[in-house]
Amino acid sequence: MTDPPDRQTAGRPPASPTRRSLLTAGSGLAAVGLAGCLGGATDGELPEPVSLNAAQACDECAMIIQDHPGPTGQVYFESLHDDRDGPAWFCSGVCAYVYRFNRVAEGATPIGTYLTDYSEIDYELSDDPDPFISPALTAETFAPESELFAVVGSDVRGAMGADVIPFSAREDAESFASAHGGSVRAASDIDRELIDGVKAASTL
């Protein structure tokens, strides 16, 4: 896998700004810390996403999330053997899915997954032949997996190389796939086999 360039020094001039403006603070998705076990929810409600711009390390690969490009993710579980309040967090969509699949295989119960919503931010692409997409790390830039459509198999890269690129608007996902390749599917339909294929593409 080719390591992605550092966000601060890669010299990736912005491509044309895209899509929609960043969600306003009134969107109802706030950065919160939740007491209790990792991912502990109350009253059956889905916990809200948190911001990932405080030098958190990815729970799957240990890379510092804010130092890398691309979509990020966070997953809440009923419980995990961890002293942290709040979700497990990840530098890429691939890492989020891999970690969740592995924890489920060990008996953990996920109660909510959030991924970057590129329909709701003005993202940028690098000028590389296989471009990197800019990250978005504040709480309001995440959406529940159940509300997202993912572009799988595009030429656009994230922190771990090939990644899934999520959008809340299907038409945005289809437009992105038309420009950059790949197919569109509901993010909640992504399974381990598909993620294994994305990971394999990163090693080519």
Residue-wise pLDDT tens digits, 35-67: 334 555 545 688 999 999 999 999 999 999 999
Report how far residue 167's alpha carbon sits from residue 15's, in angstroms, rounded to the nearest whole number: 18
How many CA atoms does the CB half-sphere of 102 hold within 13 Å?
A: 12
Residue (of 47, 49, 51) closest to 37 by Cα position? 47
Tell me the torsion sign for CA atoms 103, 105, 109, 113: positive
Nearest to 113 by CA among 84, 82, 148: 148
Tell me what the mean pLDDT of segment 174-178 comes to.
98
> 131 in a domain, yes or no?
yes
Domain assignment of residue 7, yes or no: no
Asked whether residue 11 is domain-assigned, the answer is: no
pLDDT-based confidence at residue 80 (cuts at 50, 70, 90):
low
Q: Please, which residues have CB within 8 angstroms of residue 204's CB and are 6 or more apart in sequence?
A: none
Mean of pLDDT over the chain: 82
Quote the CA–CA distance of 175 and 184 in Å, as a whole number: 10
Whole-number Å distance between alpha carbons of 181 and 201: 13
The rounded percent of the chain whose pLDDT value lies above 70 is 75
9 domain-assigned: no
Structural domain total, the chain: 1
Within a domain: 59: yes
Mean pLDDT of the region 3-27: 36
Q: Cα separation of 152 and 184, whole Å?
A: 6
Give a yes or no: residue 39 inside a domain: yes
Chain centroid to Cα 13, Å, comes to 22
User: Which residues form the domain of 193?
Assistant: 28-202
- Residue 28: which pLDDT band, with cuts at 50, 70 and 90? very low
**Whose structure tokens read 């771990």?**
160
pTM of the predicted model as reported, rounded to 2 decimal places = 0.80
